[in-house]
């Protein structure tokens, strides 16, 4: 079993290598690939050093499964050809998520989409993964009709560069916290990744704005991927996606409306039994999720479950998930494990 990790030097790729090791994935050979810039770098895997090679179709020769996290533009240059040549590709970008020939899979939710006739799989958008891990078990019990989501997304969602930009800005602003009550807009640090200052701030724009609707493409992706994953083309759904100065761990405030009323106690029981979900919902003891508690873990944490005061069929909840793990690398490895079970 030869497994390639494309984008092995990136934020998600490094997590994929770690997860392959943690889960004892049955790979005989792991091939780390990245851009020319990283050729020759060493990556530790199972106590050995693996040498990073530049991505090419030849480097994928004989590879059974390629886990890819190198961005959509690069994925488009090799995924279809590699799949044609027999490699099962699991891609983290949005390049193929709406293609009917590619599976868009969260293994706990729609495992039936892993099929023998498919060689390309896509990991859904990291924020919709966190959202649906919390909502899909409730949907199965009570029938989801509408979803409204506000996200609080970590800077590592924009890769290495995002984390660096936040750290640099925190460094520049350290000691000037008092002045941030009356900031001089010209003196605020700004970077290429987030545009507006991300340190001590929130930025209500992830990806570009769609000039027609005013939504960002991140928000549009969330809506259309949710409809596909849940097989609910008529789902009423809208999102507002916001970047926050958190390193790792995406959070979502969700308002979900169901066909039938669902009491918070029943919702907690359903979620407690759902794989990949941990209920943290005990307000009396100040138990509720936060992204730092989700970071580094596999579970999506769900809490603050309450009934809407005016709409009894609507529940409100707050969920946090590690964007690099369940939102990307872990979900990719779980898809690969499901592919192996088909063989
Ligand atoms: N970060 C998240 O939370 C998250 C969540 C879900 C999905 N994703 C998706 O996962 C992908 C990677 O994200 P990331 O956050 O890991 O980004 P990142 O930290 O910037 O890493 C990008 C990786 O892609 C490699 N790469 C860039 N250009 C390449 C090329 N021409 N050929 C081969 N490899 C190339 C880079 O290699 P070098 O080091 O050599 O440049 C690096 O290993 C993106 O599609 C992103 O949308 C990310």
Residue whose CA is closest, atom 4 of ligand 1?
157
323 pocket-lining for ligand 1 (C-beta < 6 Å): yes
Angle at 277 between CA 274 and CA 25, to 5 degrees: 95
d(CA 32, CA 98) in angstroms, rounded, equals: 27
| 140-152 average pLDDT score | 98
List, in sequence order, every residue forming a beta bridge with 254; answer none if it has no partner: 149, 317
pLDDT digits (tens, 9 = 90+) for 147-174: 999 999 999 999 999 999 999 999 999 9
pLDDT digits (tens, 9 = 90+) for 260-302: 999 999 999 999 999 999 999 999 999 999 999 999 999 999 9
d(CA 200, CA 220) in angstroms, rounded, equals: 27
All structural domains of the chain = 2-124+328-342 (3.40.50.720), 128-323 (3.30.360.10)
Q: Supply the residues annotated as catalytic.
A: 126, 250
Residue whose CA is closest, atom 14 of ligand 1?
159
| 296-321 average pLDDT score | 98
Residue 49 has pLDDT above 90, yes or no: yes
| 105-124 average pLDDT score | 98
Q: For residue 233, how far is the Cα from the chain centroid? A: 22
pLDDT for residue 15? 97
Per the prediction, the chain carries an average pLDDT of 98
Residue 210 pLDDT level (bands cut at 50, 70, 90): very high
Pocket test for ligand 1, best of 4, 5, 8, 11 (most atoms within 8 A of CB): 11
Angle at 107 between CA 106 and CA 112, to 5 degrees: 105
Closest CA to 254 of 269, 267, 273: 267
77 pocket-lining for ligand 1 (C-beta < 6 Å): no
pLDDT for residue 215? 98
Closest CA to 321 of 128, 111, 141, 124: 128
DSSP string, 72-86: HHHHHHHHHHHHHTT
Task: Give 34 Cα–ligand 1 centroid separation in angstroms.
Answer: 9
pLDDT for residue 328? 98
| Ligand 1 atom nearest to CA at 9 | 43
Residues 68 and 16 sit within 8 Å (Cβ to Cβ): no
Could you give the 3-state DSSP secondary structure of residue 153?
A: strand
Residues 190 and 196 sit within 8 Å (Cβ to Cβ): yes
pLDDT digits (tens, 9 = 90+) for 332-343: 999 999 999 998
The pLDDT > 90 percentage for the chain reads 100
pLDDT for residue 343? 87
């Amino acid at each position: 079993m030869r497994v390639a990790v494309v984008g092995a030097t990136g934020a998600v790729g490094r997590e994929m290598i770690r997860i392959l090791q943690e889960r004892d994935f049955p790979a005989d050979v792991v091939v780390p690939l990245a851009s020319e810039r990283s050729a020759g770098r060493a990556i530790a895997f199972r106590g050995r050093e693996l040498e990073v090679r530049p991505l090419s179709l030849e480097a994928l020769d004989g590879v059974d499964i390629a886990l890819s996290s190198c961005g959509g533009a690069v994925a488009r240059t090799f995924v279809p050809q590699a799949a044609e040549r027999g490699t099962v590709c699991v891609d983290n970008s949005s390049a193929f998520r709406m293609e009917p020939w590619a599976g868009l899979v969260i293994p706990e939710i729609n495992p039936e989409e892993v099929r023998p006739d498919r060689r390309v799989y896509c990991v859904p958008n990291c924020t919709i993964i966190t959202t649906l891990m919390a909502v899909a078990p409730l949907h199965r019990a009570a029938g989801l009709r509408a979803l409204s989501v506000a996200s609080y997304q970590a800077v590592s969602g924009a890769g290495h560069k995002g984390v660096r930009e936040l750290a640099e800005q925190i460094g520049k602003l350290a000691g000037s916290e008092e002045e941030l009550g009356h900031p001089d807009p010209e003196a605020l640090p700004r970077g290429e990744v987030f545009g507006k200052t991300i340190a001590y701030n929130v930025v209500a724009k992830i990806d570009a704005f769609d000039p027609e609707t005013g939504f960002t493409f991140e928000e549009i992706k969330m809506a259309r991927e949710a409809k596909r994953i849940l097989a609910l083309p008529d789902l009423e759904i809208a999102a507002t996606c916001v970047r926050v100065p958190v390193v790792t761990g995406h959070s979502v405030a969700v308002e979900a409306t169901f066909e039938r009323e669902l009491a918070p106690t029943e919702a907690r029981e359903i979620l407690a039994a759902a794989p990949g979900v941990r209920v943290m919902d005990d307000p009396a003891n100040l138990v509720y999720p936060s992204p730092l508690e989700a970071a580094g873990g596999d579970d999506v944490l769900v809490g603050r479950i309450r009934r809407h005061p005016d709409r009894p069929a609507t529940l409100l909840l707050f969920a946090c998930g590690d964007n690099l793990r369940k939102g990307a690398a872990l979900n990719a490895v779980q898809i690969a494990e499901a592919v192996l079970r088909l063989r």
